[in-house]
Amino acid sequence: KQASYAALRGVEPFSRDGERIFVMMNAGLRDDIPMLNLSGADGIGLFRTEFQFLVSAALPQRERQTRLYREVLDAAGDKPVVFRTLDIGGDKSLPYLRKDGDSADENPAMGWRALRLALSREGLMKAQARSLLEATAGRTLNVMFPMVSEPWEFDAARNVFEQQLAMMKQRRRPLPECIRYGAMLEVPALAEMLDVLAPRLSFLSIGTNDLTQFLFAADRSNPRLAERYDWLSPAILRFVRRVIGSLAGHRIDLTVCGEMGGRRLEALALIGLGVRRLSITPAAVGPLKELVRKIDTREIAAAMERWLSEPVSDLRTQMIRWAEERDI
Ligand code: PEP
Ligand code: MG
Give the distance (Å) from ligand 1 centre to CA of residue 210: 6
Quote the pTM value: 0.96
DSSP secondary structure string for all residues of 19-71: -B-EEEEEE-SGGGTHHHHHHT-SSEEEEETHHHHHT-SSPPPHHHHHHHHHH
Q: Can you tell me which atom of ligand 1 is nearest the CA of 146?
A: 6
Residue 33 has pLDDT above 80, yes or no: yes
**For 118-122, what is the mean pLDDT?**
93
Give the distance (Å) from ligand 1 centre to CA of residue 196: 23
Taking the C-alpha atoms of residue 133 and residue 137, their distance in angstroms, rounded to an integer, is: 6
Stretch among 69-73, 276-280, 310-314 having the lowest mean pLDDT: 310-314
What pLDDT does residue 101 have? 54
- What distances in angstroms separate CA 3 from CA 6, 22, 226, 261, 284, one per listed residue? 5, 21, 33, 22, 14
Q: Do strands 44-48 and 277-280 pair parallel, antiparallel, or not at all (unpaired)?
A: unpaired
Residue located nearest, by CA, to atom 6 of ligand 1: 207
Percent of the chain topping pLDDT 70: 98
| pLDDT tens digits along 66-99 | 999 999 999 999 999 999 999 998 778 788 886 5
Ligand 1 binding residues, C-beta < 6 A: 46, 48, 87, 186, 207-210, 257-258
Q: Can you tell me which atom of ligand 1 is nearest the CA of 209?
A: 3
SS3 196: helix
- What distances in angstroms separate CA 228 from CA 6, 213, 222, 237, 269, one per listed residue? 36, 11, 10, 16, 20
| pLDDT tens digits along 129-145 | 999 999 999 999 999 99
Mean pLDDT of the chain: 94
What pLDDT does residue 221 have? 86
Q: Can you tell me which atom of ligand 1 is nearest the CA of 205?
A: 5
Taking the C-alpha atoms of residue 242 and residue 246, their distance in angstroms, rounded to an integer, is: 6
What pLDDT does residue 102 have? 62
Residue located nearest, by CA, to atom 1 of ligand 1: 207
| pLDDT tens digits along 208-249 | 999 999 999 998 888 888 877 889 999 999 999 999 999 999
Q: Do strands 22-27 and 277-280 pair parallel, antiparallel, or not at all (unpaired)?
A: parallel
**For 183-197, what is the mean pLDDT?**
98
Which ligand has its closest atom nearest to the C-alpha of 236?
1
